[in-house]
Amino acid sequence: MSLNSESKLEPVGSAAGVGAVSSAAVKRPSSRAYFWGFGLVVLALDWFTKWLVVRNFQPYQSLSIWGEYVQLTYVRNAGGAFSLLANSPALWRSLLFIGIAAVTMVVLAVLAYREKQAGWDFLIPLGLICGGAAGNLIDRVTVGTVVDFIEVGVKAYHWPVFNLADSAIDIGVVWLLAVNLFTGHKASPAA
């Protein structure tokens, strides 16, 4: 006996042939796996790198990776991007940033679920943004600040210190903008 495309038992001498399995019987993973997979990878890498920095650095300690251009510098950011609202009342600031991250994650998960024909070019950046938001959300909920440690710049011109979660969010946003603006479509159909 062999399996046909509907996974029903069928006699050996049938039209499907001995031991034949239709390609429809082999299930491919949902394209939403891109969303969940990339989101979880970003979250895991973000958590691991922050753990390494907290374990091995003192606050404001730096390690040069590539001269003055790239350094690891451990800081705790109470604010948002560019330390936005860092000097605001702690409770108000924490609730605001926790709320923004939580709402963002829910909206992205709903988008990933609802866009049935979305392809990898739409779901991967959603996953990057969601994973980054989750990484920074965990920091805010557990310690009230976000661990930042990547510092880049030249001489007196240095970008504010950031982390992998921030990078994933930025890459995801730019990617989505490129898909939406430059290709003229929302996302390619799932392959």
Active site residue ranges: 148, 166
3-state secondary structure the chain: CEECCCCCEECCCCCCCCCCCCHHHCCCCCCHHHHHHHHHHHHHHHHHHHHHHHHHCCCCCEEEEECCCEEEEEEEECCCHHHCCCCCCHHHHHHHHHHHHHHHHHHHHHHHHHCCCECHHHHHHHHHHHHHHHHHHHHHHHHCCEEEEEEEEECCEECCCECHHHHHHHHHHHHHHHHHHHCCCCCCECC
CB atoms within 10 A of CB 82: 11
Structure tokens given for 103: 């709402």
Q: Which amino acid is at 166?
A: D
How far is it, in rounded angstroms, from Cα 16 to Cα 149? Answer: 59
